[in-house]
A and B are shown apart, each in its own frame.
Chain A
Amino acid sequence: DGGITQSPKYLFRKEGQNVTLSCEQNLNHDAMYWYRQDPGQGLRLIYYSQIVNDFQKGDIAEGYSVSREKKESFPLTVTSAQKNPTAFYLCASSIGQGANTGELFFGEGSRLTVL
C-alpha cells in the first residue's frame, strides 16, 4: 500500500535532549512537509522540501532541523533549542509540481512529549 509512515507514534524525551522523528513515503512524491499541530493553532509549517538535497524553512523553523538525502525520506530533528517541543507532528507529501501542487497526503503523526 502506498502511503506515508511516521515513527515513532509516541515519544517522550527529557529537556535538553534532541530527538529525531522519521517520515518515509513510497508515493514517489517530490515534495515533503513537516507541520506541527497544536490545539487552536491549526497546522504550522516547520520545513518543506521540493526536491532531494534541498529544503526551505517554514513559518516556525527555529529549534528544528531536517535533511532530505533520499526522495522517500524526510526526517525531522527537534533540538534542545526548541522552547515548546511538546506537540503533535505531522509529515506530508505532495506531487509537488504543476497543477497538483498542494494536494497533501498525511502520515498518522508523531506525538512528542517533553518531560
Chain B
Amino acid sequence: AQSVSQHNHHVILSEAASLELGCNYSYGGTVNLFWYVQYPGQHLQLLLKYFSGDPLVKGIKGFEAEFIKSKFSFNLRKPSVQWSDTAEYFCAVTGHAAKIIFGKGTRLHILP
C-alpha cells in the first residue's frame, strides 16, 4: 500500500535560514511526487512536482525538491526562507492508478 511519511510536524525558523523538510514514501512502483502548500486561510496549491527526468525539480517561490529513488525520499528545500513562507506543507505521492496519498503535513513558522 502507498504511504507517505513527513518527519517534521512543526518547524520554526528565523528569516533567511535554510529549510529542508523531509518526505519519505512507500510504494514499489513508478511514482509521481508532489509538494503542496496551504497558506493561512487559503486553498491548498501545488508547490512543485516530479514526474520523470531530472530528479531535482524547482517550484514556485524559490522552492526545490530532490527525488532520491534509492532512499524513497523527496525532500523539500529552500536556501533562504521568508516570513511569507509561513504555511503548512504537504508531501503527496501517486502510484497505482489515480490514488493520491498525502503525508500528515509540516507546519512551518517563520519568525520575522
- Docked-complex contact A106 and B43, CB < 8 angstroms: yes
Q: Does A102 contact B (CB under 8 A)?
A: yes
Q: Do residues B98 and A101 form an inter-chain contact, with CB atoms below 8 A?
A: yes
Contact stretch, chosen from A16-24, A34-42, A63-71, A77-85: A34-42
State whether A56 and B44 are in contact (beta carbons under 8 Å apart), knowing that A42-B90, A101-B32, A102-B49 are contacts in the complex.
no
Segment touching A, from B64-72, B74-82, B99-107: B99-107
Min Cβ gap B112→A in Å is 25
Task: Assign chain B's interface to a size class.
Answer: 20 to 34
A115 contacts B by Cβ under 8 Å: no
When the two chains form their complex, are residues A42 and B98 in contact, meaning their CB atoms are under 8 A apart? no
* Docked-complex contact B90 and A102, CB < 8 angstroms: no
Q: Is the CB of A50 within 8 A of B97?
A: yes
Is residue B39 contacting chain A, with contact meaning CB distance below 8 A?
Answer: no
B44 engages A33 (CB within 8 Å): no
Given A90-B44, A101-B32, A102-B94, A35-B49 contact (CB < 8 Å):
no
Within 8 A of A (CB), among B41-64: 43-46, 49, 51-52
Task: Let me know if A43 and B43 touch, CB within 8 A.
Answer: no
| Chain B, interface SS category | strand
Please give me the residue from chain A that is nearest to B99 by CB atom.
A48
Asked if A104 and B98 sit within 8 Å, CB to CB, the answer is no
B34 contacts A by Cβ under 8 Å = yes
Interface hub of A97, A100, A106 (most chain B Cβ within 10 A) = A106
A44–B104 Cα distance when bound, in Å, is 9
- Residue B21, interface by CB 8 Å: no
B→A interface (CB under 8 Å): 6, 9, 32, 34, 36, 43-46, 49, 51-52, 90, 92-94, 97-105
Other than A31-B98, A33-B100, A108-B43, give 7 A-B pairs with Cβ distance below 8 A: A35-B102, A43-B102, A45-B102, A50-B98, A101-B98, A102-B93, A102-B98
